[in-house]
Amino acid sequence: MAKLFEPINLGGVELHNRVMISPMCQYSAEGGVANEWHRAQYGRFAMGGAGLVMIEATSVNAEGMGTLGDLGLWTDEQEAALTEIARAISALGAVPGIQLGHSGRKAAAQRPWHGNAPLGPQDAEERNELPWPVVAPSALAMAEGWQVPQALDAAGIEALKADYAAATRRALRAGYKVVELHCAHGYLMHEFLSPLSNLREDEYGGSRESRMRLTEGGDQRESHLGLDGLRALEELLASHFELKAHIGISLADDAMTIERLTAEQAWILDSLADNKEMAISGGAGSGKTVLAVEKAIRSAAEGRRTLLTCYNAPLSTSTGAASSRTAA
């Protein structure tokens, strides 16, 4: 417990304690631009004493917006608003971090309080909210009633990498010291990682190495964690940023057995460079998921500095550190 309040240096970033506020979507932006809501939301956590305040999933481009209330970071206006938030967090004593993401085939959804379903005719009628075409590794809908995404072609993947790189540059300029790549919860990067949603036959699909190519540039065991599109920025990133991955562990489909899932996740975790911190998120808290999380953590997290966050997992399970937000 005492360690929780000791300072820690994560990849060159000094935190005054080990409390990290997890990224939490607020669905309260307009046009992807942060506002007073976000300033209050993130400012109060900094004021409350957290060492690291992570801004919610922020889309790298317009098509990747999960809902029309998501934050974005592809325009100057969005950057200016997020600069203000970073400044407020820093002024209140915490380190500002930001999670960058793309919602893939889960994009164009309703805000939770409107139903969490894909945007449809009623949303258009009531709030003038229209869906837009979504993209994914393969043309597979997430579930019945959701859009069948367009499979990204080679040019689309290159454009995506450029969007991640551009958003990362903006985040750096805006004053964020930690960048987390959202690779969890069934969003685009997770869709590439998972053999259930990635049926590609090119260099981004098939083997684990290929499915990981977007999130892990080059040779997995030697390279830094990062999109291969970010490799040009690596030197800059190394001096300014701690790169983290938020890795999702969930049993969304019966085709994914615990054994298969844990082998996949353990392999992915094992492949990440040793000096990279990572957050592991446990998906819905079913018994099966908790078991899988425990197994994956036991086999992969040993000896690493790992931030564990288990979504809805019962605290009584032996995952122990779940929800503690400590870097052990």
Q: The tokens of 325 are what? A: 């937000």
Between 218 and 308, name the residue whose CB sits nearer to ligand FMN.
308
Q: Is 281 in the site for ligand FMN (CB under 6 A)?
A: yes
Binding mask 37-76 for ligand FMN (x = CB under 6 A): -------------------xx-------------------
Q: Which amino acid is at 240?
A: H
Q: Is 284 in the site for ligand FMN (CB under 6 A)?
A: no
Among 41, 83, 99, 326, interactor with ligand FMN by CB under 6 A: 99
Q: Is 85 in the site for ligand FMN (CB under 6 A)?
A: no
Between 130 and 288, name the residue whose CB sits nearer to ligand FMN.
288
Q: Is 103 in the site for ligand FMN (CB under 6 A)?
A: no
How is residue 202 annotated by DSSP? S
Between 165 and 308, name the residue whose CB sits nearer to ligand FMN.
308
Between 231 and 304, name the residue whose CB sits nearer to ligand FMN.
304
Least Å distance, CB 323 to ligand FMN, is 4
Between 73 and 310, name the residue whose CB sits nearer to ligand FMN.
310
Restricting to residues 228-247, name those near ligand FMN by CB under 6 A: 246
Least Å distance, CB 71 to ligand FMN, is 9
Instruction: Determine the straight-line distance between the first and last CA of the chain, rounded to whole angstroms.
Output: 11
- Cα(303)–Cα(158) distance, integer angstroms: 35
Q: Is 170 in the site for ligand FMN (CB under 6 A)?
A: no
SS3 for 107? coil
How many other CB atoms are found less than 10 A from the CB of residue 241? Answer: 24
Q: Is 309 in the site for ligand FMN (CB under 6 A)?
A: yes
Closest CA to 66 of 105, 12, 40: 105
Residues 6+ apart with CB under 8 A from 320: none
Catalytic residue among 27, 176, 187, 311: 187
- Its sign, for the CA torsion 156, 173, 52, 11, is positive
Least Å distance, CB 293 to ligand FMN, is 11
Angstrom CA distances, 156 to 27, 122, 150, 282, stand at 26, 31, 10, 30
Q: The tokens of 291 are what? A: 């078991």
Q: Is 310 in the site for ligand FMN (CB under 6 A)?
A: yes
Closest CA to 66 of 112, 120, 113: 112
Q: Is 323 in the site for ligand FMN (CB under 6 A)?
A: yes
Among 135, 174, 184, 307, interactor with ligand FMN by CB under 6 A: 184
Q: The tokens of 164 are what? A: 């991640």
Q: Buried (b) or exposed (e) across 123-142, using 16+ Cβ within 10 A?
A: beeeeebebeebbbbbebeb
Least Å distance, CB 116 to ligand FMN, is 12
Q: 27 an active-site residue?
A: no
Restricting to residues 12-41, name those near ligand FMN by CB under 6 A: 22-25
CA atoms within 13 A of residue 19's CA, in its CB half-sphere: 15
Binding site for ligand FMN (CB under 6 A): 22-25, 56-57, 99, 182, 184, 246, 281, 309-311, 323
| Catalytic residue annotation | 187
